[in-house]
Amino acid sequence: MSYWFSTREQRTTQLFLEETPNSCSNLAFEVFAHGIDSESAEVVVETLRFFKPRKIEVRALKEVPETSYNLIRHQYNGFLVAKWLDTLRTAKDSVVLGVLNVDAYVDPLNFIFGLALPELNLATVYVARLKINATKSGFIARIKKEVVHEVGHVFGLRHCRNKSCVMSFSNSLADVDRKDFRMCSTHYAELKNRVPCVSDELLQPPKTGT
């Protein structure tokens, strides 16, 4: 059962709630969105459904704390943002996902598309750079890939050497565009071991000869 809600002036405002009582897992996602439109939020929800969770809740953030903003770099500190998001969770065993329309970094990197902290059961995706030179469909595809990538890290997956696998490291937008939103067979098997209910739609089809 799914519900979309209207926004109100609060620290966080519930935008969406979907509960699937008959899900084969107890997985729950708490999504905190900042500065993204309803279509982008829907893409995030649709992507998280690949993991077959029992619950997905989306809340809108009124603002991102200025204490996490680096005035010299004009970017947000990814670690500080993540730690702040962790304080907003309502369930200790949920997976928190922040999707924010800001630019962020962690040392020694110049920027990040996202950050995962498995020890906190938390991930973030920063969409400001994903918009650069992107068509509407291209932007949506980039969000989808980064959400799968960072959530994959939360479940213990490491980077992949296969550049077409969604778990490959992206050092540029070209890297993001080059890869699939799905996983190679090795990484999918690892994910399936950790999240047995995950959809096989996240598995790349085998390559066929020409």
The owner of tokens 């924010």 is 100
Considering the candidates 39, 150, 190, 201, report the single residue annotated as catalytic: 150
- pLDDT-based confidence at residue 21 (cuts at 50, 70, 90): confident
Task: Assess whether 42 carries a catalytic annotation.
Answer: no
Provide the residue range defining the domain that includes 83.
2-158
Inside any domain, residue 173 = no
To the question of pTM greater than 0.75 for the whole model, the response is: yes
Inside any domain, residue 123 = yes
- pLDDT-based confidence at residue 2 (cuts at 50, 70, 90): low
- Structural contact between residues 15 and 7, judged by C-beta atoms closer than 8 angstroms: yes
* Cα 16 to Cα 6, 83, 205, distances in angstroms: 9, 23, 32
- Considering its fold, how many domains does the chain have in total? 1
Inside any domain, residue 87 = yes
Please write down the long-range contacts of 181-190, taking CB distance under 8 Å and 24 or more positions apart: 181/47, 181/141, 181/144, 181/145, 181/148, 182/148, 183/148, 183/152, 184/160, 186/160, 187/152, 187/157, 187/160, 190/156, 190/157
- pLDDT-based confidence at residue 210 (cuts at 50, 70, 90): very low
Task: Give the CATH number of the domain where residue 25 resides.
Answer: 3.40.390.10
Give the model confidence (pLDDT) of 119-151 as tens digits. 999 999 999 999 999 999 999 999 999 999 999
Per DSSP, helices labelled H in 96-159 are 136-154
